[in-house]
C-alpha cells in the first residue's frame, strides 16, 4: 500500500498520526481513502499553497498523478523563488 | 557512467541580446513612447500605520493638464474574502489590491494611496501633492519579535492570531532523544535586517485600456503571464482581456514578480482614455515595493564526539511586511537542508509589521536561516577541533537523505560541492596576515518546474527563430538558444530568440525559482525534437525513403545527405514551412547546492572590513553557458556580501526609511569587492536531458554565514546581527 504523509500542522486532524498506508492507483484515490478515515482532512491537504510530492518529486498533475503500491505521498509547501 | 559530449552546450557564445544592450538599443519600459501617451504619479503615505479618514481629490482633478485621478475606490467591487491563485500560492484579493492602493488603512510609510495621470510627469507630481488625505495616525511595529509581543499594535483585524499570519512546523524523529545523544550542543540566535534586491531598473508600467475593453500593458516583469493574471484578478477581468508585453528588464532577483503599477496604470488609462506610463523613483522602489524580510532565527544543534549531528532545532520569525507572505516557509524548509539529520524540529512564524510588503529575493528565506545554522556549525567545528568542511562532509545530505519537510533527495551535489571547496587553491592558500579571517559556509535552494512554452520556426536560410515567454534576466536567451542549437546540430548564433507578449506564446511561468534554463529549456528541447522529426519526414519525402538518420546537423539516408541548412532551403518544395511548438509542466527538477570561501581583513580601529578573496562553488548540473553560470554565482555572491556587511533599511521610530537612495543604502560596488572566483561543479540532474540544475539562487545563501565565520576568525567575536558593519563589529 502507498504511504501518505501528513504535514505536521495537519496532524491535529489525524490525532497526531504522521502517516497512513492506503490503497489506490492515483493520489486522488489515496485521498478518498484518507478522507474516509479522517473526514474533512482533504481541505487541509488540497490547498493552492501546498504541492503534492509523489516519490520525492513534486507533481504538476496533483490528484491525477498515478501512484505505485510502494509510493510515498507528501504535501509540501509550493515554492517559487526569486531569480 | 560516460559523460556526454556536446557541440554547443558548455561553450561560451556571445549573448544574442548583447549588441542591443551595450549600444543602448534595447528597449526598457521607461523608453516606451506611444501616441497620446500621458504620465502618472503616485501619492504615498507618510505614515507607517494610519487610518484613512478622508481622501479629497478635487484640487488635483481641477489642475490644468490632469486627465485622471484614481484611488482604491476605483477598483471594481469584489468580496473581501475572495482568493486569487496564480498557480504558485493563493492570495487574498483584498491583500493584493490593498498593497497596490491602500483602502481603509495605510500599513507602511510609502504605501500607495492615490494616483494621477497628467500631461507630463511634473504636472502629475504637482497634482498628486494636491490630493488631501486625512489620517488618524496609529502606533507602528517594525520587527517580528515586537509584533509578536503582547500588546503590539495590530495591523489586520482578520488575522486570528494577532500579527502572526502563518505558522509552519516540521518534525522528524525524536528531538529529545537526539539531544540526549549529543556530547556537545551549541545554540545561537541571529537577526537579519530588511534588505532590498537592489535591481538597477525601477519598476515601470504603461497601460492602454482600449474602448473594446482590452488592456495592453508594457512593463518590467519577471513573469508576463503572472503580471497578466494578477492585473486581471485585481481589475476583475478575464485574463484574455489583458495582454502583457515584457520589456527588457534591468534586474529583478524576485522583486519583479509582484504587480504594483500595472493595475493602477490601467485604471488611470480607462479614465483618461489614453495610454498612461508610470515609472517609480528610487525612493518609490525602496519604500513601495517588496524587500526581503528581516528576521530572527534561533538554531540549536547537538553532535556526538565524532561530529555527527544527533539533533537540530530551529525557531524562525520573519517579517512579512504589511501583508502576509514572508519567506519563512522556504526558510524553514532549507534551514537544515544541507544535512542528513534524523531528529529535527523546526517552527516558523510569518509576522506582519509596518514595513513594505516583502517579496522574493534570490533563494527567498534561505540566507536568513542558513546564517544561523552555518555559524552554529562553525562553532561546533572549532570546539571539536575539526576542519569546518570536514564537519560538514560528515553530515552532508546525499541521494536518499530525507528533508525535514518530507521528500528525499534524488541525485544531488552537496558532497561534491564540499569536496571542491576543500580541494580548491583558495582553501589551501595561507591567509595574508594579522586581523584576517577565513570563513566557509554552504547553502541549498530548490528548483521549481512550472509551465513553459516555446515555438521554433525554421527559416529558409537554415536559421531558426525561437519564440518564448521567459523574461531574459541573466542570459536565458543564450541558454535556451544553445539547447535548441544542440538538438538541431546548429550553432548558437543560428538560433534567433525573441521574448514575446502573452498573446503570442503559450503560458510560461515566471523567470524565478531557478527554473528558466531548466523548464523553458525543456520546452525548447521538445520543440527542437519535433522540428527534427518533421525535417526527417521532409527528407524522406525528398529521397523516397522510409527512414532518415540525423546526426551532427546532417540528415542522411541511403547515401543521400543534406545539412540542416540545405534541407531548410527545400522546405517550400517539400510541404511548406516547419514550425513546432512545445509546452511542458515538468517534474524532474534538481536542487542546487552552493558554497563560499571568504577571506577578509578587519581594521581593529575602525571596524572596516575588506573582502580579500572569495571563491564561489556551485553545482550547476550541467553548465549550458559556463560564463553565465559564473555570472550568476558572482552576482549572488556580490549581493550576499553586501547583505552580510552593509545593506540595511534604516527605519526611524515612526517607520520611515531614512536611507532610501543608493547614496545612503550601501550596496557593494566593484571597488568594494575582489574578483569573485568560481568553481562550477557538475553533478547532472537526471530529470533534464542535458542535466540542467537552476543556478540563479543557491549562491546567495552561503555569503552571510561565510562572512560571519570569517569575521569571527579575524576578530574573535561571534556577532549576532546582520549587517555586520563597522558599528556591529565594534559593538557600538
Structure ipTM? 0.94
Which A residues 54-83 touch B at CB under 8 Å? 56-60, 72, 74-83
- Strands A57-58, A50-54: pairing is antiparallel
To the nearest whole Å, the CA of B85 is away from the closest chain A CA by 7
Report domain extents, chain B: 36-138+203-279, 295-447+590-730, 449-584
Residues from chain A that touch B360, judged by Cβ atoms under 8 A, are 80-82
Confidence of residue B78 (pLDDT cuts 50, 70, 90): confident
To the nearest whole Å, the CA of A8 is away from the closest chain B CA by 6
In this predicted structure, what is the pLDDT of residue A82? 53
Confidence of residue B274 (pLDDT cuts 50, 70, 90): very high
> Could you tell me the three cell numbers for B88?
504558485
- As a CATH number, domain B449-584 is 3.30.365.10
In tens, the pLDDT along B368-406 reads: 999 999 999 999 999 999 999 999 999 999 999 999 999
Please tell me which of the candidates B90, B170, B446 has its beta carbon nearest to residue A48: B90
Cis peptide before B723 (omega within 30 of 0): yes
To the nearest whole Å, the CA of A6 is away from the closest chain B CA by 9
- As a CATH number, domain B36-138+203-279 is 3.90.1170.50
In this predicted structure, what is the pLDDT of residue B626? 98
In this predicted structure, what is the pLDDT of residue B36? 98
In this predicted structure, what is the pLDDT of residue B596? 98
Cβ-based neighbours of B560, under 8 Å, separated by 6 or more: B539, B542, B543, B545
Are domains B36-138+203-279 and B449-584 of this chain identical in fold? no
**Phi and psi of A25, rounded to 5°?**
-105, -10
Q: Which residue of A has its CA nearest to B516?
A: A83
Cβ-based neighbours of B306, under 8 Å, separated by 6 or more: B394
CATH topology of domain B295-447+590-730: Aldehyde Oxidoreductase; domain 4 (3.30.365)
SS (H, E, C) B124-142: HHHHHHHCEEEEEECCCCC
Q: Which residue of B has its CA nearest to A52?
A: B407
Cβ-contact B424, B616 below 8 angstroms = no
Confidence of residue B77 (pLDDT cuts 50, 70, 90): confident
In tens, the pLDDT along B481-503 reads: 999 999 999 999 999 999 999 99
> Could you tell me the three cell numbers for B291?
524587500
Number of Cβ pairs < 8 A linking chain A and chain B: 114
Mutate which of B587, B592, B620, B637 to disrupt the A interface (most A C-beta within 10 Å)?
B587
Whether residue B89 is predicted with pLDDT greater than 70 in this model: the reply is: no
Q: Is B416 helix (H, G, I), strand (E, B) or coil?
A: helix
* C-beta atoms surrounding B451 within 10 Å: 19
Mean pLDDT of the region B197-214? 97
In this predicted structure, what is the pLDDT of residue B82? 80
Please tell me which of the candidates B83, B197, B330 has its beta carbon nearest to residue A79: B330
Mean pLDDT of the region B626-644? 98
Whether residue B98 is predicted with pLDDT greater than 60 in this model: the reply is: yes
In tens, the pLDDT along B149-174 reads: 999 999 999 899 999 999 999 999 99
Whether residue A54 is predicted with pLDDT greater than 60 in this model: the reply is: yes
Whether residue A80 is predicted with pLDDT greater than 90 in this model: the reply is: no
Residues from chain B that touch A81, judged by Cβ atoms under 8 A, are 254, 360, 363-364, 445-448, 512-515, 696-697
Using CA atoms, how far residue B17 sits from A17, B556, B611, in Å, is 55, 34, 33
Cβ-based neighbours of B335, under 8 Å, separated by 6 or more: B297, B299, B314, B316, B346, B369, B370, B372, B373, B404
Domains and CATH numbers, chain A: 2-77 (3.10.20.30)
B340-368 burial, b for 16+ CB within 10 Å, e for fewer?
bbbbbbbbbbbbbbbbbbbbbbbbbbbbb
Please tell me which of the candidates B333, B408, B632 has its beta carbon nearest to residue A77: B333
Amino acid at each position: 500500500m502507498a504511504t501518505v504523509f501528513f504535514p505536521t500542522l495537519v496532524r491535529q486532524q489525524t490525532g497526531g498520526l504522521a502517516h497512513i498506508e492506503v490503497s489506490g492507483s492515483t493520489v486522488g484515490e489515496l485521498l478518498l481513502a484518507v478522507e474516509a478515515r479522517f473526514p474533512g482532512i482533504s481541505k487541509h491537504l488540497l490547498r493552492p499553497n501546498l504541492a503534492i510530492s509523489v516519490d520525492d518529486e513534486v507533481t504538476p498533475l496533483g490528484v491525477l498523478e498515478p501512484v505505485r503500491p510502494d509510493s510515498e505521498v507528501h504535501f509540501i509547501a509550493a515554492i517559487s523563488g526569486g531569480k | 557512467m560516460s559523460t556526454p559530449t556536446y557541440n554547443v552546450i558548455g561553450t561560451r557564445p556571445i549573448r544574442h541580446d548583447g549588441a542591443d544592450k551595450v549600444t543602448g538599443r534595447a528597449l526598457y519600459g521607461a523608453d516606451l513612447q506611444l501616441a497620446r501617451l500621458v504620465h502618472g504619479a503616485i501619492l504615498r503615505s507618510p505614515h507607517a500605520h494610519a487610518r484613512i479618514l478622508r481622501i479629497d481629490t478635487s484640487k488635483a482633478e481641477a489642475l490644468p493638464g490632469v486627465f485622471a485621478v484614481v484611488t482604491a475606490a476605483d477598483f471594481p467591487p469584489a468580496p473581501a474574502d475572495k482568493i486569487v491563485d496564480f498557480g504558485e500560492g493563493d492570495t487574498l484579493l483584498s491583500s493584493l489590491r490593498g498593497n497596490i492602493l491602500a483602502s481603509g488603512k495605510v500599513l507602511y510609510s510609502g504605501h500607495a494611496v492615490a494616483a494621477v495621470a497628467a500631461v507630463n510627469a511634473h504636472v502629475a507630481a504637482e497634482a498628486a501633492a494636491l490630493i488631501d488625505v486625512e489620517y488618524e495616525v496609529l502606533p507602528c511595529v517594525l520587527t517580528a519579535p515586537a509584533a509578536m509581543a503582547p500588546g503590539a499594535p495590530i495591523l489586520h483585524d482578520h488575522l486570528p492570531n494577532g500579527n502572526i499570519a502563518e505558522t509552519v512546523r516540521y518534525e522528524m524523529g525524536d528531538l529529545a532523544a537526539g539531544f540526549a545523544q549529543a556530547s556537545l550542543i551549541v545554540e545561537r540566535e541571529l537577526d537579519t535586517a530588511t534588505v532590498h534586491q537592489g535591481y538597477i531598473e525601477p519598476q515601470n508600467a504603461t497601460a492602454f485600456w482600449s474602448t473594446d475593453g482590452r488592456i495592453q500593458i508594457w512593463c518590467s516583469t519577471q513573469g508576463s503571464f503572472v503580471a497578466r493574471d494578477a492585473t486581471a484578478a485585481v481589475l476583475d477581468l478575464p485574463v484574455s482581456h489583458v495582454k502583457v508585453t515584457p520589456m527588457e528588464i534591468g534586474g529583478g532577483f524576485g522583486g519583479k514578480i509582484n504587480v504594483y503599477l500595472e493595475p493602477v496604470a490601467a485604471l488611470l488609462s480607462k479614465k483618461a482614455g489614453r495610454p498612461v506610463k508610470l515609472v517609480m523613483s528610487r525612493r518609490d522602489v525602496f519604500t513601495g515595493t517588496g524587500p526581503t524580510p528581516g528576521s530572527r532565527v534561533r538554531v540549536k544543534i547537538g553532535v556526538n564526539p565524532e561530529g555527527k549531528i544527533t539533533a537540530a532545532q530551529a525557531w524562525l520569525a520573519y517579517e512579512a511586511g504589511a501583508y502576509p507572505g514572508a519567506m519563512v516557509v522556504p526558510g524553514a524548509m532549507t534551514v537544515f537542508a544541507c544535512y542528513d539529520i534524523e531528529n529535527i524540529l523546526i517552527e516558523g512564524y510569518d509576522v506582519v509589521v509596518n514595513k513594505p510588503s516583502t517579496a522574493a529575493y534570490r533563494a527567498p528565506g534561505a540566507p536568513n536561516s542558513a546564517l544561523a545554522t552555518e555559524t552554529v556549525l562553525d562553532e561546533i567545528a572549532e570546539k571539536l577541533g575539526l576542519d569546518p568542511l570536514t564537519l560538514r562532509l560528515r553530515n552532508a545530505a546525499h541521494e536518499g537523505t530525507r528533508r525535514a519537510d518530507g521528500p528525499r533527495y534524488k541525485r544531488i551535489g552537496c558532497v561534491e560541492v564540499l569536496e571542491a571547496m576543500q580541494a580548491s587553491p583558495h582553501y589551501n592558500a595561507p591567509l595574508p596576515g594579522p586581523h584576517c579571517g577565513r570563513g566557509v559556509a554552504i547553502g541549498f535552494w530548490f528548483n521549481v518546474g512550472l509551465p513553459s512554452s516555446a515555438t521554433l520556426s525554421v527559416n529558409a536560410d537554415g536559421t531558426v527563430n525561437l519564440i518564448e515567454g521567459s523574461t531574459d534576466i541573466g542570459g536565458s536567451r543564450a541558454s535556451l538558444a544553445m539547447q535548441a542549437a544542440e538538438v538541431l546540430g546548429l550553432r548558437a548564433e543560428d538560433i534567433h530568440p525573441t521574448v514575446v507578449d502573452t498573446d503570442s506564446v503559450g503560458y510560461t511561468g515566471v523567470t524565478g525559482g531557478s527554473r528558466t534554463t531548466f523548464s523553458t529549456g525543456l520546452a525548447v528541447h521538445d520543440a527542437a525534437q519535433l522540428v527534427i522529426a518533421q525535417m526527417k519526414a521532409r527528407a524522406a519525402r525528398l529521397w523516397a525513403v522510409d527512414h532518415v538518420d540525423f546526426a551532427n546537423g546532417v540528415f542522411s539516408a541511403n547515401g543521400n545527405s543534406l545539412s540542416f541548412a540545405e534541407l531548410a532551403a527545400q522546405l517550400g518544395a517539400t510541404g511548406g514551412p516547419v514550425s513546432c511548438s512545445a509546452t511542458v509542466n515538468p517534474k524532474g527538477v534538481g536542487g542546487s547546492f552552493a558554497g563560499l570561501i571568504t577571506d577578509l581583513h578587519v581594521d581593529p580601529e575602525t571596524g572596516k572590513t575588506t573582502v580579500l578573496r572569495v571563491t564561489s562553488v556551485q553545482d550547476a548540473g550541467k553548465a549550458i553557458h559556463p560564463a553565465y553560470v559564473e555570472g550568476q554565482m558572482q552576482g549572488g555572491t556580490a549581493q550576499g556580501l553586501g547583505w552580510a556587511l552593509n545593506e540595511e533599511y534604516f527605519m526611524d521610530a515612526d517607520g520611515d526609511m531614512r536611507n532610501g537612495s543608493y547614496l545612503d543604502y550601501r550596496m557593494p560596488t566593484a571597488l568594494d569587492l575582489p574578483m569573485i572566483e568560481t568553481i562550477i561543479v557538475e553533478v547532472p540532474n537526471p530529470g533534464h536531458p542535458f542535466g540542467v540544475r537552476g543556478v540563479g539562487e543557491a549562491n546567495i545563501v552561503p555569503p552571510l554565514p561565510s562572512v560571519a565565520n570569517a569575521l569571527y576568525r579575524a576578530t574573535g567575536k561571534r556577532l549576532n546581527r546582520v549587517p555586520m558593519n563597522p558599528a556591529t563589529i565594534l559593538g557600538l
